[in-house]
């Protein structure tokens, strides 16, 4: 390998996979920067595992190429690629202790003195005191950490993780998300992580590719995807979104004025991924936690310049950190609103006439004709 090929960025160019007449992955281009924590996120069957397996060399692409740094690895078998994979099933050797499980990759390469490296790896995953245990004596999360240590021992340029936390219960999953992120930061290599759990991807990844039906629907940093989704799929897959049908009434100074029944709505043009001509239809998106709720009698106190809709409380439920309201509005039924620290004085009980209002900068606009 040349110096260039030791770089850990992954470049997929026109990579695609068909099985007979079924297209699992449509040709896609993706660059995963060296040293980043990258997530492939999507529902079951969207093609994320197939994409990962093509990077690993476990699946031959039908079209396109895979580069690691400058090296074209498309035709190389998995063991000749500077990558390693961690699977959901930890695939540890049950008869070997933790130390020998981690040492396995080194011994297979004929490395004689493994003690220092195995010790460092066990320390990295904080299992130094479990070296003599057998896998069945560890918890699921600990076993998965052994699998990570074993995969890292040969210093791959890229670590591929295929739903590695899928078998863990929710609490352990949350702990392991932070743990994996810490390990990635410490070793500094590229991690490519496949998951269907949006919270997991958002917690860990620097960049997320949201996949849908064999295509990358949107690529970006978690906050970017959440605050500025470009499609209804992304808006609904990452958290929940209220989507209100509206029409563009006017456009001036980078702001779109929208008509939606009696609602007064505006939207920064830069946050609209739909056509922005007068009369064009647009889906106005607003996250439930960005909305404030006022009793209709108090509507006069709402500051000018805020987006507002009238409605009636259909249901409320207390969900701990906040109260969830479902509001039926003349322009949209079943709007969701989460309010923190609401005064529980009964004025916003089901049946109450209310005004929903929010900062227009939190609004995003989607193409109503898209799906």
Task: Work out whether 46 is an interface residue with ligand ATP (CB under 6 A).
Answer: yes
Stretch that binds ligand ATP, among 17-25, 97-105, 134-142, 261-269 (CB under 6 A): 17-25
Q: Distance between CA 360 and CA 290 in Å, rounded?
A: 10
Q: Give all strands (DSSP E) within the chain, no chain letters.
A: 10-19, 22-32, 37-41, 63-68, 71-72, 83-86, 158-162, 190-195, 207-212, 215-220, 242-252, 255-260, 263-268, 281-286, 292-295, 307-318, 323-329, 332-339, 353-358, 364-367
Q: How far is the CB of 47 from ligand ATP (least distance, A)?
A: 4
250 contact partners, CB below 8 Å, separation of at least 6: 256, 257, 278
**Matching residue, tokens 């109450």:** 352
The yes or no reply on residue 340 touching ligand ATP (CB under 6 A) is no
Largest CA distance in the chain: 79
Q: Could you say which residues in the range 174-203 bind ligand ATP, by CB under 6 A? A: 196
The DSSP 8-state label assigned to residue 111 in this structure reads -
Candidate residues 2, 21, 44, 303; the one interacting with ligand ATP per rule CB under 6 A: 44
The DSSP secondary structure of 24-70, one letter per residue, reads EEEEEEEEE-TT-EEEEE-STTSSHHHHHHHHHTSS--SEEEEEETT
Region of 18-26, 219-227, 237-245, 308-316 interacting with ligand ATP (CB under 6 A): 18-26
Residue 53: CB minimum distance to ligand ATP, A? 7
* Binding residue (CB under 6 A) for ligand ATP from 8, 42, 61, 156: 42
The three-state secondary structure class of 238 is coil
Smallest separation, CB 281 to ligand ATP (Å): 32
The residue range among 47-55, 84-92, 134-142, 201-209 that interacts with ligand ATP, by the rule CB under 6 A, is 47-55
24 scored as a contact of ligand ATP (CB under 6 A): yes
Q: Which stretch binds ligand ATP (CB under 6 A): 38-46, 150-158, 176-184, 363-371?
A: 38-46
- For residue 81, what are the contacts with CB-CB under 8 A and spacing of at least 6? 56, 57, 68, 73
Taking the complex as a whole, the smallest distance from the CB of residue 42 to ligand ATP amounts, in Å, to 5
In whole angstroms, the minimum distance from the beta carbon of 50 to ligand ATP comes to: 3
Looking at 7, 11, 37, 47, which residue binds ligand ATP (CB under 6 A)? Answer: 47
Stretch that binds ligand ATP, among 42-50, 117-125, 143-151, 362-370 (CB under 6 A): 42-50
Q: Least separation, in Å, of the C-beta of 26 and ligand ATP?
A: 11
Instruction: Tell whether residue 158 is a contact of ligand ATP (CB under 6 A).
Output: no
Query: Within positions 52 to 111, which residues make up the interface with ligand ATP, using CB under 6 A?
Result: none
Q: Least distance (Å) from ligand ATP to the CB of residue 197?
A: 10
Residue 113 C-beta: closest distance to ligand ATP, Å: 39
Residue nearest to ligand ATP (CB): 49
The distance of closest approach from Cβ of residue 24 to ligand ATP in the complex, given in angstroms and rounded to an integer, is 3
Total residues contacting ligand ATP by CB under 6 A comes to: 12
Distances (CA, A) of 182 to 85, 129, 175, 188, 202: 18, 19, 11, 10, 15
Cβ atoms within 10 Å of 169's Cβ, excluding its own: 10
* Residue given tokens 């609602």 in the structure block: 263
Q: Can you tell me the distance from the alpha carbon of 228 to that of 267, in angstroms, rounded to the nearest whole number?
A: 12
Residues interacting with ligand ATP, by CB under 6 A? 19, 22, 24, 42, 44-50, 196
């Amino acid at each position: 390998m040349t110096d260039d090929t030791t770089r850990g960025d992954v470049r997929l160019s026109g990579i695609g996979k068909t099985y007979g007449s079924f297209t699992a992955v449509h040709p896609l281009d993706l660059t995963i920067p060296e040293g980043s924590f990258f997530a492939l996120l999507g529902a079951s069957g969207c093609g994320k595992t197939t994409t990962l397996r093509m990077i690993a060399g476990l699946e031959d692409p039908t079209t396109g190429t895979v580069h690691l740094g400058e090296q074209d690895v498309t035709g190389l078998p998995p063991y000749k690629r500077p990558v390693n994979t961690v699977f959901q099933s930890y695939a540890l050797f049950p008869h070997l202790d933790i130390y020998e499980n981690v040492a396995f990759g080194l011994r297979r390469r004929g490395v004689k003195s493994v003690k220092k490296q195995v010790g460092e790896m066990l320390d990295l995953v904080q299992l130094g005191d479990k070296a003599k245990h057998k896998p069945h004596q560890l918890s699921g999360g600990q076993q998965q950490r052994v699998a990570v240590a074993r995969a890292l021992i040969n210093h791959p340029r890229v670590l591929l993780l295929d739903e590695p936390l899928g078998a863990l219960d929710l609490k352990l999953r949350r702990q392991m998300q932070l743990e994996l992120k810490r390990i990635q930061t410490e070793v500094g290599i590229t991690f490519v992580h496949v998951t269907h759990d949006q919270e997991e991807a958002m917690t860990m990844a620097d960049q997320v590719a949201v996949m849908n039906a064999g295509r990358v629907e949107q690529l970006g940093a978690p906050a970017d995807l959440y605050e500025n989704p470009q499609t209804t799929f992304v808006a609904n897959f990452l958290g929940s979104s209220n989507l209100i049908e509206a029409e563009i009434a006017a456009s001036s100074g980078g702001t779109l004025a929208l008509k939606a029944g009696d609602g007064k709505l505006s939207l920064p043009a830069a946050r609209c991924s739909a056509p922005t001509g007068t009369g064009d239809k647009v889906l106005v998106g607003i996250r439930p936690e960005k909305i404030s709720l006022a009793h209709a009698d108090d509507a006069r106190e709402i500051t000018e310049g805020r987006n507002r809709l009238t409605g009636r409380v259909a249901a409320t439920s207390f969900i701990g950190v906040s109260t969830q309201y479902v509001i039926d509005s003349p322009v949209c039924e079943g709007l969701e609103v989460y309010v923190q620290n609401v005064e529980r004085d009964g004025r916003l009980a089901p049946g109450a006439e209310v005004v929903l209002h929010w900062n227009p900068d939190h609004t995003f606009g989607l193409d109503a004709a898209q799906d």
